Structure 1
Amino acid sequence: MPKRIKLDFGSLEFHENFVISEINEGVHFAAKQNRVLISLCLEHFKDQPFGYISNRIYSYSVDPFAYIESENIENFVAMAVVVSSSAQRLSSKIEGLFCKRPFKYFYNLESAQVWIEKTINTGEIPSG
């Protein structure tokens, strides 16, 4: 059973090998929020390789520079973004330029989960 954590800016759902985030409507996601996510991921996954799935069910903005700190997490393997519009797809493509890990967008959560699991199971942890 996944562990769910409610935050003031959204929620996280921790699975065995990945975390799914759902950020609240209208939030500007920046370094401050990212530090909270990093801390919770490090606490949950410890040294185990993990992936991050951003399930964009609400509209919010992302500061792409928030990814900079994530690059220091050695066991952070890949990131998937689940989009529902062409605007979200375009935003995720721009964000992907700032992420040094494997980064891919999807139109449904199930496809993102399959890709994250497959990427983790290759055993290749990108160097940060």
Structure 2
Amino acid sequence: MKFEDSEYFEHLKPHVIKMSFGTFYLCDLFFVSELNEGIHFDWDKIQAVISELFKYYGEDSRIGYIPNRVNSYSVNPHYWARVDKQYNIIAASAIVYYSYSNAINAEIEERFYKKPMKLCNNLNEAISWMLDLEVLKRN
């Protein structure tokens, strides 16, 4: 299910950023990515997204990340550690997968990620988990 089609879209009223390689929905505590079919989410693309996140949330923010894998794409799992080391903006992640191959890729990425991560088979599960995380709750 695409984020725009979920019950949360109207309720959370995200700031939407459309880039040539995908769409990003920026909510208060987390953001959702829906990358285009067949792209390779390389370091240059990740840096472009991080730049937008800093503009919207601020450089000292800690947010959640939900990659909603409605399409098939590739990403180097080592980028998780690099994003943490260089930017430290993502506090937790919930990967939503819709196919067996996406689930396998998510399991591989989970091994490289040192912060809270949940593998989810639907968007509602991922968003509910994010909303309940103490690490994302603000005073």
Partner of 1:14: 26
Contact 1:83 1:105 in 2 (8 A): yes
Aligned to 1:41: 53
Structural mapping, 1:12-91, within 5 Å: 12-46=24-58, 47-72=60-85, 73-91=87-105
CA contact (8 A) 2:35 2:73 kept: yes
Gaps of 5+ in 1: none
- Separation in 1, partners of 2:136, 2:92: 10
TM-score (norm 2): 0.81
Q: Which amino acid aligns with 1:25?
A: E
1: CA distance, partners of 2:50 / 2:76: 15
The amino acid of 1:54's aligned partner reads: P
Q: Residue by residue, what CA displacement relative to the aligned partner does 1:22-76 show, whole Å, maximum 9, x if unpaired? A: 0000001121111112111122111333100000000111111222332133342
Does the Cα contact within 8 Å between 1:31 and 1:65 map onto a contact in 2? no
Q: Which has the higher strand share?
A: 1
Mapped partners of 1:34, 1:87: distance in 2: 22
- 1: CA distance, partners of 2:105 / 2:20: 23
Matched, 1:97 2:107: no
- Asked if the contact 1:30–1:65 (Cα under 8 Å) also holds between the matched residues in 2, the reply is no
Shift of 1:124: 7.3
